[in-house]
C-alpha cells in the first residue's frame, strides 16, 4: 500500500516535471482533450509572470492586475481549442492581457485624469515614476501591434526570459532565426514606440525590455485560483460563479460602469517601476531607481517657453496685472479684495492683500517675476461671496482678468455617521480643493452630459475655515465656496476610513446625484463612513536588524492623501484611516534608506490591526545645495541620481530594481537650494535640472561614460559623486549652475521677408520631456543658453518647403535665411529590371549618431537632441513618404539640406531595398537612378 | 423529514402547539423560536415571551413587532440611507446586516435570507450593487405573499436574469440556464421534468431580457413557434411557463421542503407531514405566509425532537450573538460582521453557485467551527467595532438581575444564548474552581458558550 502510494507520488512528480518541459502546444492539447488540470497549471505557471507583468504595468493597482490575470487565463481556457498558433501561447496571452488591462484602465482613466489635474494644482513637480510605467505600458501596446512572429520572439526572449535556444524550441525554428526575429522585432518595436511618441535608444529599449521582464513568479494562490476557475469555466460554468465580479466582467466583455474603484490614485502618485539595469540606476524625484522623465515638469516647461523677442514682458521683470471684479449680475463689484497666491503661500496668513476694487470694480497691481515663477493666482473675494480666481501665465500674455464673485448662500451642512448610524463626533472635515463647474449642459441632460469642472482652487482661496470638526451629533458646517461649486472634502476620524467626497453647493437638486461613477452629495448631506483597519508594524535596518525611527510608511489607495505614519524610536508605526479591503499595499522609506514596497498583503479578520514589518536597505544620503554662480542665489529644480555601471555596490541593493510606490519623495530642491537624495555608496552621478532650465548652461557630459539615459540630457549639471558612509565630505555635493544667455534672431525667407510658423529644433540647450516639436508663432525666436561652442539649430517650414540648418553661437544675433528644400527621386525596379509600382518609399532622417552619443554619454555630434529624443514629433515634420507610380518612379520633396536621410522601400511588411546617409541640395532633386528591389513584381512571383 | 424518527407531532404535525407537561412553554422554547425564526433575542424579549405564552410570542414574530430592544427610532431612514450609499459589495452586505441586526422585523429578514438562498444570485456576475439590492427588496416585500407573486417578480428581476444569462437566450440561440434553474431549483425540483422540457422551456423564455436595468420582453427575439412542455403543446410564452410551473404539484412540495429546510430541524417532520404541508400550500394557492405561520405555530416546530436539531447558519450565528449580547450602544461594525459571515462560509450576495448554500451539516467543518470561536472572541473582546472596548457581559447579567456568583452568571448566558443547553457545567469546569465572577472571566465564559457545540445547533 505504502509502496503504491510512493509509486504514485513519484509518477506525479515525474509528470509534473515532464509538463514543465512540454511545449505549449502539447499542454494545450492535453488540456483541450482531457481537461487536464496539471497541463493547464503548467501553462499558468509558465506564462503567469508575464501576464501579471503586463497587467501591472498598465494598471496601478494590484487588484486590477490580478483581475486581468484571472480573466486572461479564463479566456485561454475557453479559447484553448481555437488558438491557431498553439506554440505561441505566450504571445497570445500577451495580446489578451494587454487588451483587457487597457480596457480596465480606460474605465478609471477619466476619474484619474481629474484626480491628476487636482494633484497638478497642488504639486507641480515630484512626479517621475508614472512616466516610466507609462513607458512600459506603451511598450506593451507597441508589442501588440507587431506581426506575430516578431512579437512571439520578443515575448519569449525578453518578457519571459528565455534564451535563444529555449525560444527556438518553443517556436520550432533555428536559434539563428529567433535571433534575427528578435533583432528585427526590436527595430520594429522602436519604430512603433516612436510612433507612440516615445523615442528610445536601442540600449534604452533593451533596458526597458529587461525591466519589463517578469522577475518573480506569480503568487501561488493566484495561480491556483486561476487554474481552478479556468477548468470550471472551460467545463461550462459561468465565469461569474468562479471569480470576482471584475474578472467576470472582463471575461464577458461588456465592461459597464462599475462601482467606484476602491483605489484611487493619490495626490502625488510616485509609482515607479524602478530600473536597475546593468548600465544604470536612475532616479529623479524619488528616493531610488526610476528614470527621471517628468511629463508634468515638461508640461510646466511648455508654459514657460520664453517670450519671443519683442514681447512686452521679459522674464525677470515685474508686470502689472489689471482687471475687473463683477458680481452675479455682471455689474462692477466695489470693495472686493484682491490677493495673490503663489506656491510660497502655505497659510492664509501669508496671503498679501494687493488691491481693493473701486466703484468701477477695477483693480491694478504689480506682480514680481519671482511670484510669477511660483504659479501666481489672482484671487478676488468679498464677505458673503464665493471667490473667483485666475492664473497668471508666466509669459507675456498676461492680459486682463475679469473675476466674478458669486453669492455664498448655500452652506454645506453635513451629518457624519458610521455604518451603524452612530455620529462620527470629532471627525475632521477638511477642504482639499474646490472647483467651479459648468452646470448648464449637465442640468439640461444628465444622462448625456458629464458634469465638467472648469477651474479648481486651493482652500487658501477661501475666507472661512478650510477645516472643521464634527460636533457630538456628527454635524459640521462649511461656507465660503459660493453657489454652484463642487467642494472636495476629506473626512477623517477615529476608527473611520479616510473618505473623500464631492459636494455640490446647489440646493434643491434631487438626491442620488452622480458624476460618472462617483456620487456627488447635495449641500445638506448625510455621509456614512466605513470603519478603518489599523496597520501596525516595525521597520528595521535590513543589515543590522535594528529598529529605525523616522521612517514614513504609507498605505496607498482609497483617498487623495494616503493614510500614513512615521516610525517612533522603537521603529514602530501605526497607520489609521485605511479602509478595510481585500488586500493592501504598503510602502516605507526615509533617509538614508531605500524605499520598499509590499503588495498583495491579504486582509485579516475584523478590525484587528494588520501587522506588516519592513526591513529596509540603508543607502547613503547625499546632500547639497544648488546655487546660481552669478548671483549666489538658490535655484529651484530637482536632482536625480544615476548609478555608474562600474559601481561595485549596486548588487547589494535588491529594492532598487523593483516597482515602487514611494513613501517619501526626494530630490526636489528646497527654497534654500538644498536637496537630498538616497543612493548606493560608490561612483554615481547627480543630475541637476533647474526649473528654469533654459537660463543655465547644459550639463557637460564628459566623464559620464558608464551611464546613459535621457536624464543626462535634460540636466543643467551632471556631477560625479563617490559617496561613502564613513566620509561625510563624500556625502555632500554642492552644485553651481552657470547662467547662460541666449541670442535672439529672426527667420526670413529667400526673399528676405519674415517667415512665421517654422518649426525649430535646437533652440534649447537642455532637452525637455514632452516638449515635442516647437513651432514658432512669429518670425522671431530665441536660442537659449548658447555657449562658446556653436550648436546646430534646424529650421523647417513644411508648407513653404523652406528649411535651414544653422549654427547658433554666443554673441551676435542670429538671422536665418531659409532656403528651398531639396528632393530625392528615383525608380524602383524588380530583380528582373521591370518597374515595381505601388511600393512605399519612406525617408528616415538619421539620428543614429545622436543615439550612439547618448548611449556613450557623449556630447551631441552636431544635431539637436530633440531629433533623437522627440523622434515621433520630428518624424512627421522632417520625413517624407511616397508610393512608386506605374513606372516605379517616386519623388520625395521637402527634405532639409544639411540633414542625412536613410531611404527604405517596402512592399507591405517586407523591405525591398534601402539606402543610407543620403543628402539633398537646396532646390535640387537628387536622382538616385534605378534602385533594384529584391523581388520581382507580384504578378510574376505568383508563377 | 426523516421517516425513521419518532415524533410526538406525528399524525397532526401542523396542529397548533399547546404547552403540555411533556412539552412545556419554557425558556428553551422561547429561545428556539427566536433562533429559528429570527436572529436570537435579548433577555427582556425572552422573559416577555416566556410570560405571554406561545400565541402572543408567535403573533409578535409574525407581525414584526417582537424586538423590544436595539431598534433605533430612525431605523427606516438609516436603512434607506445605507441602501442608497451601498455602491460596492461590501457596503451592500453591511446594509443587509444592519437590517438584520437593528431592524424591527427579524422574520422578514430571515425569509429574505431564505429566498436569497432559493433564488441564489451572486453579485460576482451581476456586478451592480443597486441591482442586487432591488432583488433583495423583492424578497422582503413579496417574501410572505403567494409564491406566484414572488416567482413572477423574481423571474423578471434584472439581477436574476443577468445571473442566468436570459439576455443571451433568443430565438434560434436558446440559452437554457434560466429554464433549467426555474424548473430544477425554483419550482419543480429534479425528477419532475425531462431534458426536453428544459429545451422547450428555454424557447418559451426567449425574448426575456434586461434593458436599462429593467425587465423587457422583446418580441423580436422571442421564439413564437409550437413547444411541448410537461406534456402540453402550444405556443408557450414565458408567462405561460411560469403559470404552469406554479400549478404543478411538485412546486408545492418543493416549497414545503424549502420552509422545512429553513425552520425545521433534522427529522422534525416525516414524509407524510411534509406532504400535508405541501397539500395545504396547494389548497391556498401557495400562500407562503400561511405556510410560515403554520410551521411557526405548529406542534412539529415546538416538538422536543425539533429542539437543537438544526445547524445554525453563519449569518444567524453572527447576527444572533451580537443581538443577544445587546451590543447596541457600541455595536460591532456591520461591514465586519458581514466579513465574518463570509469567513464562516456565507458570503451574502455571493452564494457559491446557483444552488445556493447547501446548509445543514455542510456548515460544520473544522475551519468554520474554529472560525466561530474566533468570531466569538473578537466580538466579546470588542474588536469588531469602532472604539474597540471589550464587552462587559458581567454587567449585562447584573443588569438583568443575574450574576450573583459565577455559576449564576454562566447559567444566565447559557439560558440567554442556548435556552439552557446544559453547557453551564462544562463551562464552569473549563474556567476552573478558582475562577472569580469578574468581567474577564465572564467574557471567557461567554466565548466558551458561543463556541460550544450546543450553540451551533438551534
Which of B38-42, B350-354, B447-451 ranks highest by mean pLDDT?
Answer: B38-42
Average pLDDT over all residues of chain A = 76
pLDDT of A942 above 80: no
Chain A residues bordering chain B (beta-carbon distance below 8 Å): 237-241, 243-245, 248-249, 256, 258-260, 262, 417-422, 494-496, 511-512, 519, 526-528, 530-532, 580, 605-608
pLDDT of A255 above 70: no
Instruction: Give A63→chain B minimum CA distance, Å.
Output: 15
Q: Which residues contact A721 (CB under 8 A, 6 or more apart)?
A: A622, A679, A683, A684, A685, A686, A730, A733
The Cα–Cα gap between A213 and A216 comes to 9
Query: Quick check: A494 and B386 CB within 8 A?
Result: yes
Task: Give the residue with greater pLDDT, B107 vs A287.
Answer: B107
Query: Quick check: A241 and B333 CB within 8 A?
Result: no
pLDDT of B449 above 90: yes
Query: Quick check: B89 and A259 CB within 8 A?
Result: yes
The confidence band for A488, taking pLDDT boundaries of 50, 70 and 90, is confident
Run of H or E residues at A105: helix A89-122
The Cα–Cα gap between A884 and A841 comes to 7
Which ipTM did the prediction report?
0.92
Three cell numbers written together for A389? 480666481
Q: Which residues contact A351 (CB under 8 A, 6 or more apart)?
A: A339, A340, A341, A345, A379, A460
The Cα–Cα gap between A184 and A91 comes to 16
What confidence tens digit (pLDDT) does each residue in A307-322 have? 333 333 344 567 788 8
Nearest by CB to A531, from B122, B336, B343: name it.
Answer: B336
Query: ω into residue A592 within 30 of 0, thus cis?
Result: yes
What confidence tens digit (pLDDT) does each residue in A423-480 have? 999 999 999 888 888 788 777 777 666 666 666 777 888 887 889 999 999 999 999 9
pLDDT of B129 above 80: yes
pLDDT of A241 above 70: no
The Cα–Cα gap between A60 and B301 comes to 55
- Nearest C-alpha in B relative to A497: B386
- SS3 percent helix, strand, coil of chain A, rounded to 5, is 30, 30, 40
- Nearest C-alpha in A relative to B381: A608
A–B interface: beta-carbon pairs under 8 A: 115
The DSSP result for A398-455, as a single string, is --EEEEE-EE----EEEEEEETTS-B-TT-EEEEEEEEEEE-HHHHH-TTT---EEEE
Which residues in chain B have their CB less than 8 angstroms from residue A474's CB? none
Which residues in chain B have their CB less than 8 angstroms from residue A259's CB? 87-89, 127-129
From A433, A471, A423, select the one nearest A455 (Cα to Cα): A433
The Cα–Cα gap between B294 and B291 comes to 5
The Cα–Cα gap between A287 and A665 comes to 6
The Cα–Cα gap between A114 and B223 comes to 48
Half-sphere exposure of A538 (CA within 13 A, CB side): 9
What is the pTM for the complete model shown?
0.70
Mean pLDDT of A483-491: 90
What confidence tens digit (pLDDT) does each residue in A61-98 have? 666 777 788 778 877 877 776 666 666 787 778 878 87
Give the range among A24-38, A39-53, B104-118 with minimum mean pLDDT. A24-38
The Cα–Cα gap between B431 and B422 comes to 15
What confidence tens digit (pLDDT) does each residue in A555-586 have? 876 666 689 999 999 999 999 999 998 888 89
The Cα–Cα gap between A165 and A170 comes to 9
DSSP class of residue A263 equals -
Residue where the block lists cell 552644485: A735
Give the range among A222-226, A413-417, A586-590 with minimum mean pLDDT. A222-226
The Cα–Cα gap between B397 and B324 comes to 12
The Cα–Cα gap between A254 and B82 comes to 28
Nearest by CB to A249, from B87, B127, B375: name it.
Answer: B127
Give the range among A282-296, A417-431, B443-457 with minimum mean pLDDT. A282-296
Percent residues over pLDDT 70 in chain B = 98
Cβ atoms of A279 and A105 within 8 Å: the answer is no
Residue where the block lists cell 412540495: B253
Which residues in chain B have their CB less than 8 angstroms from residue A496's CB? 386
- Nearest C-alpha in B relative to A243: B124
Query: Quick check: B87 and A259 CB within 8 A?
Result: yes
pLDDT at A730: 93
Instruction: Give A363→chain B minimum CA distance, Å.
Output: 46
The Cα–Cα gap between A101 and A99 comes to 5
Mean pLDDT of A771-779: 84
Mean pLDDT of A396-400: 60
Question: Rounded to whole angstroms, what are the CA distances from B288 to A861, B15, B149?
Answer: 88, 17, 10
> For testing the chain B interface, which of A111, A246, A414, A419 should be mutated: the one with the most B CBs within 10 Å?
A419
From A458, A468, A129, select the one nearest A265 (Cα to Cα): A129
Name residue A272's beta-bridge partners: A660
Residue where the block lists cell 544648488: A626
Mean pLDDT of A808-827: 89
What confidence tens digit (pLDDT) does each residue in B170-222 have? 999 999 999 999 999 999 999 999 999 999 999 999 999 999 889 999 999 99
pLDDT at A594: 87
> For testing the chain A interface, which of B82, B90, B96, B124 should be mutated: the one with the most A CBs within 10 Å?
B124
Percent residues over pLDDT 90 in chain B = 83
DSSP class of residue A618 equals B
User: Which 3 state secondary structure label does DSSP give A183?
Assistant: helix
pLDDT at A708: 63
Nearest by CB to B336, from A248, A260, A607: name it.
Answer: A607
pLDDT of A129 above 50: no
pLDDT of A693 above 80: yes
Query: Quick check: B374 and A419 CB within 8 A?
Result: no
pLDDT at B159: 96
Distance between terminal CA atoms of chain A?
A: 69
The confidence band for A221, taking pLDDT boundaries of 50, 70 and 90, is low
pLDDT at B238: 95
Three cell numbers written together for B306? 425539533
DSSP class of residue A63 equals H
Note the maximum CA span of chain A: 103
Return left, alpha or beta for A890; rule: phi > 0 is left, psi -120 to 50 is alpha, else beta: beta
Query: Quick check: A495 and B90 CB within 8 A?
Result: no
Give the range among A309-318, A377-386, A822-831, B345-354 with minimum mean pLDDT. A309-318
pLDDT at A767: 81
pLDDT at A933: 85
From A705, A940, A917, A936, select the one nearest A824 (Cα to Cα): A917
pLDDT of A9 above 80: no
Mean pLDDT of A608-615: 94
Task: Give the residue with greater pLDDT, B373 vs A294.
Answer: B373
pLDDT at A857: 65
Neighbours of B3 (CB within 10 A): 9
Positive/negative CA dihedral, A56, A60, A62, A68: negative
The confidence band for A523, taking pLDDT boundaries of 50, 70 and 90, is very high
The confidence band for A512, taking pLDDT boundaries of 50, 70 and 90, is low
User: Which 3 state secondary structure label does DSSP give A847?
Assistant: coil
DSSP class of residue A394 equals S
Cβ atoms of A579 and B335 within 8 Å: the answer is no
Cβ atoms of B403 and B397 within 8 Å: the answer is yes
Positive/negative CA dihedral, B92, B97, B102, B104: positive
Which residues in chain A have their CB less than 8 angstroms from residue B81's CB? 417, 526, 528
Instruction: Give A634→chain B minimum CA distance, Å.
Output: 49
Residue where the block lists cell 536621410: A901
Run of H or E residues at A204: helix A202-212
HEC secondary structure over chain B? CCCCCCCCCCCCCCCECCCCCCCCCCHHHHHHHHHHHCCCCCHHHHHHHHHHHHHHHHHHHHHCCCCCCCCCCCHHHHHHHHHHCCCCHHHHHHHHHHHHHHCCCHHHHHHHHHHHHHCCCCHHHHCCHHHHHHHHHHHHHHCCCEHHHHHHHHHCCHHHHHHCCHHHCECCECCCHHHHHHHHHHCCCCCCCCHHHHHHHHHHCCCEEEECCEEEECHHHCCCCCEEECCEEECCCHHHHHHHHHHCHHHHHHHHHHHHHHHCCCCCCCHHHHHHHHHHHHHCCCEHHHHHHHHHHEHHHHCHHHCCCCECCHHHHHHHHHHHCCCCCCCCCHHHHHHHHHHCCCCCCCCCCCCCCCCHHHHCCHHHHHHHHHHHHHHHCCCCCCCCCCCCHHHHHHHCCCCCCHHHHHHHHHHHHHCCCCHHHHHHHHHCCCCCCCHHHHHHHHHHHHCCHHHHEC
Distance between terminal CA atoms of chain B?
A: 17
pLDDT at B64: 97
The Cα–Cα gap between A423 and A427 comes to 9
Amino acid at each position: 500500500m505504502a509502496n503504491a502510494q510512493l509509486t504514485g507520488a513519484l509518477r506525479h512528480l515525474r509528470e509534473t516535471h515532464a509538463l514543465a518541459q512540454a511545449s505549449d502546444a502539447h499542454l494545450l492539447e492535453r488540456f483541450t482533450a482531457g481537461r487536464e488540470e496539471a497541463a493547464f497549471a503548467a501553462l499558468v505557471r509558465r506564462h503567469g509572470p508575464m501576464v501579471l507583468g503586463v497587467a501591472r504595468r498598465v494598471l496601478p493597482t494590484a487588484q486590477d492586475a490580478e483581475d486581468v490575470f484571472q480573466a486572461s487565463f479564463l479566456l485561454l481556457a475557453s479559447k484553448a481549442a481555437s488558438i491557431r498558433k498553439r506554440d505561441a501561447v505566450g504571445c497570445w496571452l500577451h495580446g489578451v492581457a494587454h487588451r483587457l488591462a487597457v480596457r480596465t484602465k480606460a474605465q478609471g482613466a477619466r476619474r484619474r485624469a481629474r484626480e491628476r489635474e487636482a494633484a497638478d494644482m497642488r504639486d507641480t513637480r515630484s512626479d517621475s515614476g508614472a512616466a516610466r510605467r507609462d513607458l512600459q505600458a506603451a511598450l506593451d501596446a507597441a508589442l501588440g501591434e507587431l506581426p506575430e512572429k516578431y512579437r512571439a520572439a520578443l515575448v519569449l526572449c525578453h518578457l519571459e526570459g528565455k534564451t535563444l535556444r529555449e525560444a527556438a524550441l518553443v517556436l520550432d525554428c533555428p536559434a539563428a532565426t529567433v535571433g534575427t526575429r528578435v533583432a528585427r522585432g526590436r527595430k520594429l518595436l522602436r519604430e512603433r514606440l516612436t510612433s507612440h511618441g516615445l523615442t528610445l535608444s536601442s540600449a534604452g529599449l533593451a533596458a526597458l525590455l529587461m525591466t519589463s521582464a517578469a522577475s518573480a513568479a506569480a503568487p501561488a494562490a493566484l495561480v491556483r485560483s486561476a487554474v481552478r476557475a479556468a477548468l470550471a469555466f472551460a467545463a461550462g460554468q459561468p465565469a461569474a460563479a468562479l471569480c470576482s465580479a471584475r474578472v467576470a466582467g472582463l471575461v464577458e466583455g461588456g465592461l459597464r460602469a462599475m462601482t467606484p474603484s476602491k483605489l484611487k490614485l493619490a495626490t502625488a502618485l510616485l509609482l515607479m517601476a524602478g530600473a536597475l539595469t546593468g548600465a544604470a540606476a536612475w532616479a529623479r524625484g524619488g528616493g531610488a531607481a526610476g528614470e527621471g522623465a517628468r511629463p508634468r515638469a515638461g508640461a510646466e516647461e511648455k508654459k514657460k517657453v520664453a517670450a519671443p523677442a519683442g514681447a512686452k514682458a521679459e522674464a525677470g521683470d515685474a508686470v502689472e496685472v489689471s482687471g475687473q471684479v463683477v458680481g452675479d449680475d455682471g455689474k462692477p463689484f466695489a470693495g472686493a479684495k484682491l490677493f495673490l497666491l503663489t506656491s510660497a503661500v502655505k497659510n492664509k496668513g501669508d496671503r498679501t492683500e494687493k488691491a481693493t476694487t473701486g466703484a468701477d470694480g477695477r483693480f491694478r497691481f504689480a506682480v514680481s517675476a519671482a511670484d510669477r515663477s511660483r504659479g501666481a493666482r489672482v484671487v478676488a473675494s468679498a464677505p458673503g461671496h464665493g471667490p473667483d480666481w485666475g492664473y497668471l501665465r508666466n509669459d507675456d500674455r498676461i492680459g486682463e482678468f475679469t473675476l466674478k464673485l458669486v453669492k455664498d448662500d448655500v452652506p454645506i451642512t453635513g451629518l457624519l455617521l458610521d455604518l451603524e448610524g452612530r455620529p462620527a463626533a470629532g471627525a475632521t472635515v477638511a477642504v482639499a480643493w474646490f472647483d467651479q463647474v459648468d452646470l448648464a449642459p449637465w442640468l439640461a441632460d444628465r444622462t448625456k452630459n458629464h458634469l465638467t469642472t472648469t477651474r479648481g482652487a486651493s482652500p487658501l482661496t477661501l475666507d472661512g475655515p478650510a477645516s472643521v470638526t464634527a460636533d457630538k451629533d456628527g454635524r459640521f458646517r462649511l461656507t465660503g465656496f459660493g453657489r454652484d461649486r463642487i467642494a472636495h472634502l476629506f473626512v477623517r476620524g477615529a476608527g473611520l476610513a479616510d473618505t473623500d467626497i464631492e459636494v455640490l453647493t446647489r440646493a434643491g437638486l434631487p438626491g442620488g446625484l452622480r458624476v460618472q461613477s462617483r456620487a456627488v452629495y447635495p449641500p445638506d448631506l448625510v455621509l456614512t463612513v466605513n470603519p478603518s483597519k489599523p496597520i501596525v508594524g516595525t521597520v528595521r535596518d535590513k543589515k543590522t536588524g535594528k529598529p529605525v525611527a523616522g521612517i514614513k510608511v504609507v498605505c496607498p489607495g482609497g483617498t487623495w492623501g494616503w493614510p500614513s505614519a512615521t516610525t517612533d524610536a522603537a521603529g514602530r508605526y501605526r497607520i489609521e484611516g485605511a479602509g478595510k479591503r481585500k488586500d493592501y499595499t504598503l510602502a516605507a522609506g526615509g533617509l538614508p534608506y531605500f524605499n520598499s514596497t509590499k503588495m498583495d498583503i491579504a486582509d485579516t479578520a475584523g478590525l484587528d490591526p494588520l501587522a506588516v514589518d519592513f526591513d529596509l536597505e540603508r543607502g547613503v544620503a547625499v546632500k547639497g545645495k544648488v546655487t546660481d554662480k552669478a548671483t549666489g542665489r538658490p535655484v529651484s529644480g530637482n536632482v536625480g541620481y544615476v548609478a555608474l555601471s562600474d559601481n561595485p555596490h549596486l548588487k547589494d541593493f535588491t529594492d532598487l530594481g523593483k516597482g515602487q510606490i514611494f513613501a517619501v519623495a526626494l530630490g526636489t530642491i528646497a527654497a534654500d537650494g538644498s536637496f537630498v537624495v538616497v543612493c548606493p555608496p560608490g561612483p554615481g552621478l547627480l543630475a541637476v535640472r533647474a526649473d528654469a532650465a533654459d537660463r543655465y548652461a547644459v550639463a557637460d557630459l564628459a566623464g559620464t561614460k558608464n551611464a546613459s539615459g535621457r536624464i543626462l540630457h535634460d540636466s543643467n549639471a551632471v556631477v560625479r559623486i563617490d559617496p561613502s558612509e564613513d566620509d561625510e565630505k563624500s556625502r555632500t555635493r554642492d552644485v553651481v549652475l552657470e547662467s547662460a544667455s541666449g541670442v535672439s534672431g529672426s527667420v526670413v525667407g529667400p526673399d528676405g521677408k519674415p517667415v512665421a510658423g517654422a518649426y525649430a529644433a535646437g533652440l534649447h540647450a537642455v532637452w525637455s520631456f514632452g516638449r515635442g516639436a516647437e513651432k514658432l508663432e512669429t518670425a522671431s525666436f530665441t536660442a537659449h543658453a548658447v555657449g562658446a561652442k556653436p550648436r546646430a539649430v534646424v529650421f523647417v517650414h513644411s508648407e513653404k518647403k523652406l528649411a535651414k540648418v544653422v549654427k547658433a553661437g554666443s554673441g551676435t544675433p542670429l538671422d536665418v535665411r531659409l532656403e528651398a528644400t531639396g528632393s530625392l527621386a528615383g525608380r524602383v525596379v524588380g530583380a528582373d529590371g521591370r518597374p515595381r509600382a505601388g511600393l512605399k518609399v519612406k525617408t528616415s532622417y538619421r539620428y543614429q549618431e545622436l543615439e550612439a552619443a547618448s548611449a556613450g554619454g557623449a556630447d551631441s555630434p552636431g544635431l539637436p537632441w530633440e531629433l533623437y529624443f522627440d523622434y515621433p514629433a520630428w518624424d512627421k515634420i522632417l520625413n517624407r513618404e511616397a508610393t512608386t507610380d506605374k513606372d516605379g518612379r517616386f519623388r520625395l520633396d521637402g527634405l532639409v539640406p544639411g540633414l542625412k536621410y536613410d531611404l527604405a522601400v517596402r512592399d507591405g511588411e517586407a523591405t525591398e531595398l534601402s539606402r543610407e546617409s543620403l543628402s539633398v541640395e537646396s532646390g535640387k532633386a537628387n536622382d538616385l537612378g534605378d534602385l533594384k528591389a529584391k523581388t520581382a513584381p507580384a504578378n510574376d512571383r505568383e508563377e | 423529514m426523516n421517516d425513521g424518527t419518532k415524533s410526538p407531532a406525528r399524525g397532526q404535525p401542523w396542529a397548533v402547539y399547546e404547552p403540555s407537561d411533556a412539552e412545556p412553554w419554557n425558556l428553551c422554547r422561547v429561545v428556539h423560536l427566536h433562533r429559528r425564526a429570527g436572529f436570537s433575542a435579548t433577555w427582556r424579549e425572552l422573559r416577555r415571551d416566556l410570560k405571554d405564552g406561545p400565541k402572543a410570542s408567535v403573533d409578535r414574530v409574525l407581525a414584526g413587532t417582537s424586538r423590544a430592544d436595539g431598534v433605533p427610532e430612525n431605523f427606516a431612514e438609516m436603512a434607506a440611507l445605507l441602501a442608497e450609499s451601498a455602491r460596492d459589495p461590501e457596503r451592500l452586505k453591511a446594509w443587509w446586516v444592519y437590517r438584520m441586526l437593528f431592524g424591527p422585523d427579524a422574520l422578514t429578514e430571515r425569509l429574505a435570507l431564505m429566498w436569497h438562498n432559493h433564488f441564489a444570485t451572486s453579485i460576482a456576475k451581476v456586478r451592480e450593487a443597486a441591482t442586487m439590492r432591488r432583488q433583495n427588496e423583492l424578497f422582503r416585500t413579496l417574501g410572505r405573499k403567494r409564491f406566484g407573486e414572488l416567482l413572477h417578480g423574481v423571474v423578471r428581476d434584472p439581477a436574476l436574469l443577468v445571473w442566468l444569462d436570459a439576455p443571451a437566450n433568443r430565438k434560434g440561440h436558446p440559452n437554457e440556464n434560466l429554464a433549467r434553474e426555474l424548473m430544477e431549483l425554483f419550482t419543480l425540483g429534479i425528477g419532475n421534468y425531462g431534458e426536453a422540457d428544459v429545451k422547450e422551456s428555454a424557447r418559451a423564455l426567449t425574448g426575456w431580457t434586461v434593458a436599462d436595468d429593467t425587465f423587457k420582453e422583446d418580441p423580436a427575439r422571442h421564439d413564437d413557434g409550437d413547444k411541448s412542455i410537461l406534456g402540453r403543446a402550444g405556443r408557450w410564452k414565458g408567462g405561460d411557463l411560469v403559470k404552469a410551473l406554479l400549478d404543478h404539484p411538485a412546486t408545492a412540495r418543493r416549497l414545503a421542503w424549502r420552509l422545512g429546510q429553513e425552520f425545521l430541524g433534522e427529522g422534525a417532520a416525516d414524509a407524510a407531514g411534509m406532504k400535508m404541508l405541501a397539500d395545504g400550500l396547494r389548497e391556498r394557492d401557495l400562500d407562503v405566509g400561511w405556510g410560515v405561520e403554520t410551521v411557526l405555530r405548529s406542534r412539529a416546530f415546538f416538538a422536543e425532537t425539533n429542539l437543537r436539531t438544526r445547524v445554525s447558519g453563519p449569518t444567524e450565528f453572527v447576527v444572533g450573538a451580537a443581538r443577544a449580547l445587546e451590543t447596541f450602544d457600541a455595536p460591532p461594525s456591520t461591514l465586519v460582521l458581514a466579513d465574518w459571515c463570509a469567513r464562516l462560509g456565507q458570503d451574502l450576495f455571493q452564494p457559491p453557485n446557483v444552488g445556493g448554500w447547501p446548509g445543514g451539516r455542510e456548515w460544520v467543518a473544522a475551519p468554520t467551527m474554529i472560525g466561530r470561536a474566533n468570531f466569538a472572541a473578537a466580538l466579546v473582546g470588542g474588536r469588531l467595532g469602532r472604539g474597540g472596548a471589550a464587552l462587559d457581559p458581567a454587567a449585562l447579567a447584573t443588569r438583568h438581575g443575574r450574576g450573583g456568583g459565577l455559576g449564576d452568571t454562566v447559567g444566565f448566558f447559557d439560558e440567554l444564548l442556548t435556552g439552557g443547553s446544559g453547557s453551564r457545567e462544562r463551562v464552569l469546569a473549563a474556567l476552573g474552581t478558582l475562577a472569580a465572577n469578574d468581567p474577564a472571566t465572564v467574557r471567557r465564559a461567554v466565548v466558551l458558550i458561543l463556541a460550544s457545540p450546543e450553540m451551533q445547533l438551534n
